[in-house]
Copies of this chain bind each other. A is one copy, B any other.
Amino acid sequence: MAFNSTVFQKEKIVLGGTEEWIVRGGRHLFPLLPKAFAGIRQIGVIGWSSQGPAQAQNLRESLAGSGIRVKVGLRADSHSIPNVEKAGFTEANGTRGDMYDVIAGSDLVLLLISDAAQADNYDRIMAAIRPGATLGLSHGFLVAYVKSSGKAFRNDINIVGVCPKGMGPSVRRLYEQGRDINGAGINCSFAVHQDIDGKATDQALAWAIGLGSPCTFETTLEFEYKSDIFGERGILLGAVHGICESLYRWFRSHGRQQDDAFLDSARSITGAISRQISAAGLLGTYEALDEGGRQLFKKAYCACYGPAADILTEIYEEVESGNEIRSVVSAAHRLNRFPMSEIASTEMWQVGRSLRSNRQSEIDPLTAGVYVATMMAQVDILRAKGHPYSEIVNESIIEAIDSLNPYMDFKDVAYMVDNCSTTARLGARKWAPRFDYAMTQSVLPVMETSREQNEALFQRFLDSDVHQALSVCLALRPPVSIAVLS
């Protein structure tokens, strides 16, 4: 992957010995957007849930005065219509319309509706896009769906992806901060899936820069959906939920009080451990421990890495084979018969929601060892599968420590799982129990034995080139916090 742009400058970075290319953004580049968008008169933003409001408003502002219209398309019965009108996308001024009309009338169609809606309305959406137009996706689900269901994309349109590394509200807030703070904005990955006229790369880069992305790196939509669907089942949501439930019970059965067990499991991960990784990296988190803490971290790391890699490999291969996507589509169709229940009724979340202790979270060395081992297993699997390092580091580490974990520290893990996208929620509910059982059956019992540790395994952690790659990517972060805390 080494893209070429005729409009924007690219810049080389080296991650773990591999060259990658990025494009830096900024408001000074907005005047270049019309050139990159040459031939595009209307951008249709379809959907108004998380990404829709942010992307429509950011692009409208970035393209002000360019003559390119940003128009929002919704189902006729959408309950979002009042909010869209309030945001100034009105039927009266010609910037709001019926979903299929907007698709048909746009030269660039940003399809930001839910995964299930993308799958269920696939044929009609595809039929509505005008020949020669560009379909824009903000994650790779549709590519996964097309592949797993044996369909194929039309070959007379461009298909590109721009995937912000933060939730919609962050994409909007950091863009607004970017008016005053240079470099504020959410980093994006971009991908060119199909390019029929040689314009796709510049269109994708312009879309990312128009959203306010301070640093845009390249991937493919295949890699993107795999790392995305895999990651939320793994360290981002599923693994962290299962690990917390298991650790909490283990601390309780080893005599810790309820509040302490909660603070040393969930809060330690979402608070102190995440902040430390964000500030000092994975290695820095280990090195900051005292000698006893280091030994405990190492023991936990060595006990956890294998069982975590086992489940994570299974998840990756289920995503890769299309099984996981087929399962999500079929599960979504069962939701009217079996609505998803909430997961917050177990003791630990009840304790967390009525915490009496004022103690701040600290780095529990056992919890840190388990968490970092799972994160490293995820990184190593993605590396072995050929994902670009920029994607691995952003999706498996930075998204966790800077975006999701701070939110979960504020709300809690169970709340996050109960309130994320249907695809992510189904995945977390499916895989968290597997991580829990692996921890409870295979990892934690080892902590009570004096079994010899796998020195080579831990040395691989110490020597991993992820530490260099992470430090480069940490330096490319926006200068303001991306976490949503409301």
Contacts and interface: CB of A to CB of B under 8 A. Distances in A.
Interface of A: 249, 253, 306-307, 309-310, 313-314, 317-318, 321, 323, 326-327, 330-331, 334, 337-338, 341-343, 345-347, 429-430, 432-434, 436-438, 440-442, 445
Given A318-B327, A326-B323, A346 B310 contact: no
19 contacts: A249-B249, A306-B338, A309-B338, A310-B334, A313-B337, A314-B331, A314-B334, A318-B327, A321-B326, A323-B326, A341-B438, A342-B441, A343-B437, A345-B441, A345-B442, A346-B440, A346-B441, A433-B433, A433-B437
A437 B445 contact: no
Given A314-B334, A433-B433, A441 B341 contact: yes
A456 to B, nearest CB: 16
Contacts of A318: 327, 330
Contacts of A330: 317-318, 321
Given A309-B338, A341-B441, 15 more contacts: A310-B334, A313-B337, A313-B338, A314-B331, A317-B330, A318-B327, A321-B326, A321-B330, A323-B323, A323-B326, A323-B327, A341-B438, A345-B441, A346-B441, A433-B437
Contacts of A438: 341
Contacts of A337: 313
Given A334-B313, A338-B313, A347 B253 contact: yes
A370 to B, nearest CB: 16
A341 B430 CA distance: 20
Contacts of A309: 338
A331 B438 CA distance: 16
Q: For the complex formed by this chain, how many copies does it contain in all? A: 2
A334 B438 CA distance: 16
B338 A310 contact: yes
A111 to B, nearest CB: 26
A317 B337 CA distance: 14
Q: Which of A317, A346, A433 counts the most B-chain CB atoms under 10 A from its CB?
A: A433
A249 B331 CA distance: 29
A441 B343 contact: yes
B430 A434 contact: yes
Nearest to A445: B345
A432 B442 contact: no
Nearest to A317: B330
A341 B345 CA distance: 30
Contacts of A346: 440-441
Contacts of A434: 430, 433
Given A313-B334, A318-B327, A307 B437 contact: no
Nearest to A241: B437
B341 A317 contact: no
A385 to B, nearest CB: 14
A238 to B, nearest CB: 11
A334 B307 contact: no
A323 B430 CA distance: 14
Contacts of A313: 334, 337-338
A46 to B, nearest CB: 29
A256 B352 CA distance: 25
Contacts of A441: 341-343, 345-346
A430 B314 CA distance: 11
A-B complex: 8 closest residue pairs judged by Cβ atoms: A433-B433, A310-B338, A433-B437, A323-B323, A345-B445, A341-B442, A343-B441, A345-B441
B432 A437 contact: yes
A253 B258 CA distance: 13
A249 B347 CA distance: 12
Nearest to A338: B310
Contacts of A326: 321, 323
A253 B434 CA distance: 22
A317 B343 contact: no
Contacts of A249: 249
For A249, A253, A437, which residue has the most chain B Cβ atoms within 10 angstroms? A437
A249 B253 CA distance: 11
Contacts of A338: 306, 309-310, 313
A432 B342 CA distance: 19
A309 to B, nearest CB: 7
Given A314-B331, A321-B326, A341 B433 contact: no
A120 B182 CA distance: 59
Contacts of A327: 318, 323
A197 B342 CA distance: 56
A24 B164 CA distance: 67
A194 B362 CA distance: 66
